[in-house]
Chains A and B, each alone.
Chain A
Amino acid sequence: MTIAANPGAMEFGRPAAADDPFLVVENLTVQFPTHDGLVQAVTDLSYTVRSGQTLGIVGESGSGKSVSSMAVLGLHNPRSTRLAGSIRVGGTEVIGADAHTLRGLRGNEVAMIFQDPLTALHPFYSVGKQIGEAARMHNDISKAEARRRAIEMLDRVGIPQAKNRVDDFPHQFSGGMRQRAMIAMALVNNPQLLIADEPTTALDVTVQAQILDLLQDLQKEYGSAIVMITHDLGVIAEVADDVLVMYGGRAVETGSTKTILTLPEMPYTWGLLSSVPDISGDTSARLIPIPGTPPSLLNPPTGCAFHPRCRHVDKVPGDLCRSALPELGPTSQEGHLKRCHLINPDEIYLKEVLPEAAPELLDPETGELIPELQEQIDEIQGEKP
């Protein structure tokens, strides 16, 4: 994936060439007019995902992760939503598309895995019927054939004795099995793009790892593009090729997973990393939460949306953080963009943030970085643009 630094470069409606990204989101803005005012859920978001690649979208609740990806399927009610920008799936424009085009995409080329499989599966239909329905919507097949495919998919996602479980109802499945059924439903038409909205949040950790492995295996098999929405950086580290960090409805940092997790340059990303517990680390090490609460999307803060919670505002000359919205601009590394006014973020991160958040990564005597990390950083910094 590359973030389109120059979003206007691609012509509108141009058919996708073989090596074009499968999903192109350009200047996407999603707003909900309400009685209290305009909720600016997503503002000017651009990203692309290539087939076979996984993009992780991270951010707090209300940062616009789910809203932006629901727009890819056109799931917002047009009467209560204002959409602007462009979303192209395999060359097809989604925004403003008619119902017929959207139906053709949904569940066929683009499938979505929802967060809570208990509420996202219909309680009155058997699991097999729900999977079969997805197949029948896009293929002219009989009910028996749909059922056969449902069994095949359930088997593929690792439901034991799929033949016997296909007629079970969702409430007869365990949480992990329900999520597998959900994945089976999403994959039944071999979608080229899979949007997974916090697919493992409702599951316990062991099941979580199984589900992620399953998704990766299926991706290898089908070569689909995956958008993985999560607030869990552990999930990102495991599956994503690239990361998009969202805050207050905007992209604030983006780059390859390795870069973002090793040498992030935006204080919000630092905060996310610092608040992740490390099971291999020192048990006395403190988790450092991000102070404050997520910004209001009705009245977003002036300037940089993160400034009220940012500890590094003073390091920027003038009152820039409060008065001017930083551009999503280039950093010292290729393909790594950040929306921040800080001039020397790498230095601040290594000297101030890292020692506090992850003391185990520093040599206790010299205070130098441990060699493995230094090596990684050198490698990343070597990729000069």
Chain B
Amino acid sequence: MFGYIVRRLMSAFLVVVLTSMFVFLLFFKGPSNPAQPLCDINGKCTPEKLELLTEQLGLNDSVVHQYVVYVGGFFHDRTISFGPKYHCDAPCFGISYRTRGEVTSELIDKFPATLSIALGGASIYLCLGVLLGTIAARKRGTVLDRSLVTFSVVVSAVPYYVIALMVWIYVSLQWKLIEDTSYHPITSDPIHWATGLALPWAVIGLTSSTAYARYSRGQMIETLGEDYVRTAVAKGVSERGVVVRHALRAAIVPIITIFGLDFAFLLTGTIFTEVIFQIDGVGKWAIQALRSPVDFPVVSATVLFGAIIIVLANLIVDLLYAVIDPRVRLS
């Protein structure tokens, strides 16, 4: 087991290193000159000004040298200059072209909002989805089951941003049920935190729960037909015990796997949600950075951050597997 963890950690680390190379090449050695947007930001961009910025950013150095400098920033402080000199504390993802602030501290600033959205939304869709799926599987073939499946297909067919927009327009603007949909740190005002995020939670939770309901339904139908479930019935276990302790216990394993990755995906930024409900999270930050002139350090940081989150989630899911499936523990 220990060896397994070490092997998984090493491969996760390798993936992060490769991703950092890829991100670096994509943004700093890609077809456009990273100095160009910086040059465009402040007034007219003259060839001389561009030349100066290119030199200051070190873009004329060798690729390897530039990469080492870039990665080095993750481990020690850097000084970055374009015009004035900026100090960047480790781990350094660069200095934002637009705000001239440290990207890392901006990320740390934005992340709690995204984390809050993800936690609430994911809890809702996991619980609701598994609950609906289990009920549908248990009542398979009945009107209840069919309407659940039909409803879930309809909801999945509507684009997410349409639902989110409609909810915001009606619930927030028109009916003024929850007018202030924005992020307030839980530490300063827990009630405001919950009410501000209630709509995003509900929208994410309800829309994604349909996919989980269908998936859990399929898994539950499969496990309810397993021999060990029949054994449990033959032992005299109550119907609820059979469904929850025996069938759901087995069905939940692949659901948890998918959930881990879905949750990680939410953490990398819930772009539509944050933009529509005006929440300052990682997603909104990233989409703003993409507006011309492109804020290269921010965009590259969000991509790399997303990759690290996904790799970590994969790692956690793999380790969790060993906890929830005893057959994995020993092999």
Contact = CB atoms under 8 A, between A and B. Distances in A.
Contacts of A121: 228, 231
Contact of B231 (A108, A114, A126): A114
Most buried by A among B232, B235, B250: B235
Interface stretch (A4-12, A99-107, A279-287): A99-107
A137 interface: yes
Contact of B228 (A73, A123, A169): A123
14 contacts: A103-B236, A103-B238, A106-B235, A107-B237, A112-B234, A119-B227, A120-B228, A120-B230, A123-B326, A133-B232, A137-B237, A169-B327, A171-B326, A185-B235
Contacts of B109: none
A125 B327 CA distance: 10
A122 interface: yes
B324 interface: yes
Contact of A134 (B236, B250, B324): B236
A133 B228 contact: no
Interface in B235-292: 235-239, 246, 249-250
A134 B236 CA distance: 7
Contacts of B230: 75, 114, 120
A104 B236 contact: yes
A105 B233 CA distance: 11
B329 to A, nearest CB: 9
A284 B230 CA distance: 44
Contacts of B162: none
B226 interface: yes
Interface of A: 73, 75, 79, 99, 103-108, 111-112, 114, 116, 119-126, 133-134, 137-138, 169, 171-172, 185
B325 interface: yes
B249 A134 contact: no
Interface string B13-55: 0000000000000000000000000000000000000000000
Contacts of B325: 123-124
Nearest to A168: B326
Q: Is the interface of B mostly helix, strand, loop or mixed?
A: helix
Nearest to A104: B236
B200 to A, nearest CB: 35
B158 interface: no
Contacts of A105: 236
Nearest to A116: B227
A137 B326 contact: no
Nearest to B233: A75
A107 B238 CA distance: 12
B234 A122 contact: no
B237 A119 contact: no
Contacts of B236: 103-108, 134, 137-138
Nearest to B223: A122
B231 A122 contact: yes
Interface in B310-330: 324-327, 330
Contacts of B232: 122, 133
A106 B235 CA distance: 5
A169 B328 CA distance: 11
A287 to B, nearest CB: 31
